[in-house]
Amino acid sequence: MNSPLPQKTMVITGCSSGFGRATALRMARLGWRVFATVRKEADQAALREEAARLGYQDRLLPVLCEITDAAQVAGLRDVVSGSVEGLDALMNNAGTAFAAPLELLDLDDLRQQFEINVVAHVSVTQTFLPLLRAAQGTIINISSVSGRYSAPVVGPYAASKYALEALSDALRVEVAHFGVKVVLVEPGSSSTHIWATSRQHAEKLNKYRAGPYGPLLARVEQFTNQAEKHGFAPELVAETIEQILSTARPKTRYLVPKKEGRVIFLRKFISDRQWDKQMRKVMQW
């Protein structure tokens, strides 16, 4: 009689809402054991309750972890390594968005943008690479279409995603020798809570709304509201993650949704001046 296949295990950061939560629930439903990080006890309790309601309580394990805190990341590693010898997948998903014209940008906000969206992901990746090597696992970095092209006011966020793309390109070659795969997922506008977080960060810009950047700030806020209301559902990213982890040789990049490729194609093949002209037209700026 054949012994059952070992249960596959993954770590997902940023599971309070959005892509992380949707993916954690989906992969648990598929039989994966998922260690899902959250930052607040209320979010941990809510995710644990949802897992129990669906019958996933033995597979979906919410863990309190602030990924910018090295001690907490080490604690997360201890929790995971205490029950597995190898890690099949790591999804670096946690993130935030700071928005401001560069002239008005608080430099501490810029530092925090990179600390959360870039440095913390490197820290988590370094921490789990020994376990990923042991299982010849997959690292999935959640980037953005903003990692391919930038736009006014969202420069800090786009810069962090550009950095994540560059690091992923280097890491993909560095760890291929060990059988570890690195995949970028590049979502477009989605109805996730990151937009609400971005608005909270941008409240400090209210004092500038009567100034010269006022019309531009108002226009970007309008786009943000539209993205939150009409963006694609987070489950589409979760479906993409399932596809990646069920494929022996996944692609290096996945656009979500695929139609985002049209803008990336346009950005690649028109000049900077043409792009700037179109951007100013869209922004009415």
Rounded Cα gap, residues 33 and 211, in angstroms: 52
Task: Give the percent of the chain with pLDDT over 70.
Answer: 95
When pLDDT is cut at 50, 70 and 90, the band that residue 195 belongs to is: low
CB 54 within 8 A of CB 25: yes
Strands 60-64 and 89-92: unpaired
Mean pLDDT of the residues in the chain: 93
Q: What is the mean pLDDT of residues 81-91?
A: 95
Annotated catalytic residue: which of 56, 157, 213, 254? 157
Count of beta carbons in the 10 Å neighbourhood of residue 165: 18
pLDDT in tens, 92-124: 999 999 999 999 999 999 999 999 999 999 999
Q: What is the mean pLDDT of residues 6-13?
A: 93
What does the pLDDT read at residue 2? 46
CB 178 within 8 A of CB 86: no
pTM exceeds 0.75 for this model: yes
When pLDDT is cut at 50, 70 and 90, the band that residue 189 belongs to is: confident
Does residue 231 register a pLDDT over 90? no
Half-sphere exposure of residue 166: CA atoms within 13 angstroms, side-chain side:
9
Q: Of 16, 21, 17, 19, nearest to 232 (Cα)?
A: 19
When pLDDT is cut at 50, 70 and 90, the band that residue 191 belongs to is: low
213 is an active site residue: no
- For the chain, the first-to-last Cα distance in angstroms comes to 70
